[in-house]
Amino acid sequence: MTTETLMNQWTTTTTPQAIAKWIDETDTIALLTHAKPDGDALGSTLALARAINLKKSTSGAVSAAECWYCGHMPAWASKLIGNTKIRHAESGEMSPGVFDPQGVLITDTGAWSQLEPYRAFLEPRLDRTVIVDHHLQGNGEIATKRLICTDAAAVVQPAADICVALLGLGSPSELPAEIALPLYVGLATDTGWFKHSNVTPEVMRLAGDLLEAGVDHAALFAMLYQRDRASRLKLMARALASLEVIHEKNLAVMMLTDQDFKDAGAAPGDSGGFVDLPQSVASIRVVAMLTEHHDTEGVFTKVSMRSKPSAWEGKDPIDVNEVCSTLGGGGHARASGARVREDLATTKAKIIEALG
Ligand SMILES: [Mn+2]
């Protein structure tokens, strides 16, 4: 294997300290993340942008970092973003416009499939791109500087290390509250509000540090989880009505058609989190949530899968990253997804077969 091939593998090649040094040496940075950013994607980019701008403001620079987002944003995103400089494109390609950054920092993904809107912008700039991620798969050729923490529950964990190193602090508990808050959002959302099996002592220690830094846990919970519209609840009713329990009651499948979204008056992102609901059933080990979508090439299905650790029944947990890989997707062993160029029924059949 050549050195270049090795460099392109999905491995860590740098450290939080080295990335902090790179930030110091780079005047302007665009922070990119996957399309349709979630709490971890928004939290990691906003925290880093704020830390970078804070650090650079001490040396006179005004706005050195900005975040770029593409696609549907969570309802609470604008609250979290506040005054931080962002650009947002509903869909399609993102171009640098007047701001051509010296460096690009990508968090919470490192896969071309998730960075498609930025491809034309990124391809000539790969030599100045850095990736910080926690997913099991990615395209190493996007950046030679990579911090890949697959043990981290959320990418805000390595992002917190970078913020601490950049600002020369002793611990995340010393971070300014406006940086601690988005980090906490990433940590709380990627762990299902500290419920999932990815919660580790490190997660809770960081959560404790961020609370010490001034995060208001209860206010944040209300902001994230208690501001749904009734249409989401109506959509949830349809998802639950579609529930099928198969494979000796081990697999739960739910499906939402285009029409379901229309009838409920719901928006495309409104099905977020539904995949977690059937996990409350004792016998369920795997959940698949399927949603129907259309684009210029026709119909496709988005699959979201969760695997429940059920070792107490003497059965090993199922690796849904493996299942989604067979569908052209991937993610984590306990939480994964795919985009399949098939209709709902065909996709469902493929999942049932893959789990057979
Ligand atoms: Mn994440």
> How far apart are the CA of 262 and the centre of ligand 1, in A?
29
Distance between CA atoms of 191 and 198, rounded to whole angstroms?
6
Distance between CA atoms of 248 and 98, rounded to whole angstroms?
58
Of 111, 136, 140, 144, nearest to 18 (Cα)? 144
> How far apart are the CA of 201 and the centre of ligand 1, in A?
18
> How far apart are the CA of 74 and the centre of ligand 1, in A?
15
> How far apart are the CA of 157 and the centre of ligand 1, in A?
10
- What is the per-residue DSSP string for 218-229? HHHHHHHHS---
Reported for 352-355, long-range contacts at CB under 8 A and 24+ positions apart, including other chains, are: 352/246, 352/247, 352/251, 352/253, 354/323, 354/326, 354/327, 355/247, 355/251, 355/286, 355/318, 355/323
> How far apart are the CA of 110 and the centre of ligand 1, in A?
11
> How far apart are the CA of 33 and the centre of ligand 1, in A?
10
Distance between CA atoms of 84 and 79, rounded to whole angstroms?
10
Which amino acid makes up residue 57?
A: S
CB atoms within 10 A of CB 199: 17
> How far apart are the CA of 37 and the centre of ligand 1, in A?
9
> How far apart are the CA of 87 and the centre of ligand 1, in A?
20
Per residue of the chain (356 residues), give pLDDT as tens: 455 565 679 999 999 999 999 999 999 999 999 999 999 999 999 999 999 999 998 877 667 999 999 998 998 999 999 999 999 987 666 665 656 899 999 999 999 999 998 998 999 999 999 999 999 999 999 999 999 999 999 999 999 999 999 999 999 999 999 999 999 999 999 999 999 999 999 999 999 999 999 999 999 999 998 888 899 999 999 999 999 999 888 999 999 999 999 999 999 889 988 999 999 998 899 999 999 999 999 999 999 999 987 655 677 889 999 999 999 999 999 999 999 999 999 999 999 999 98
Distance between CA atoms of 84 and 78, rounded to whole angstroms?
10
- Yes or no: say if 2 and 76 are a contact pair by the CB < 8 Å rule: no
Residue in the block written with tokens 């919660």: 199
Distance between CA atoms of 19 and 347, rounded to whole angstroms?
41
The pLDDT value recorded for residue 92 is: 65
> How far apart are the CA of 40 and the centre of ligand 1, in A?
5
CATH superfamily name and code, 3-224: inorganic pyrophosphatase (n-terminal core) (3.90.1640.10)
Written out in words, the top-level CATH class of the domain with range 230-355 is alpha beta
> How far apart are the CA of 318 and the centre of ligand 1, in A?
20
- What is the per-residue DSSP string for 28-44? -EEEEE-SS--HHHHHH
> How far apart are the CA of 170 and the centre of ligand 1, in A?
25
> How far apart are the CA of 275 and the centre of ligand 1, in A?
16
The pLDDT value recorded for residue 315 is: 77
> How far apart are the CA of 1 and the centre of ligand 1, in A?
31
The pLDDT value recorded for residue 356 is: 81
The pLDDT value recorded for residue 313 is: 64
> How far apart are the CA of 316 and the centre of ligand 1, in A?
24
> How far apart are the CA of 69 and the centre of ligand 1, in A?
15
> How far apart are the CA of 109 and the centre of ligand 1, in A?
8
> Global pTM?
0.79
The pLDDT value recorded for residue 264 is: 97
Domain ranges of the chain: 3-224, 230-355
> How far apart are the CA of 155 and the centre of ligand 1, in A?
5
The pLDDT value recorded for residue 51 is: 98
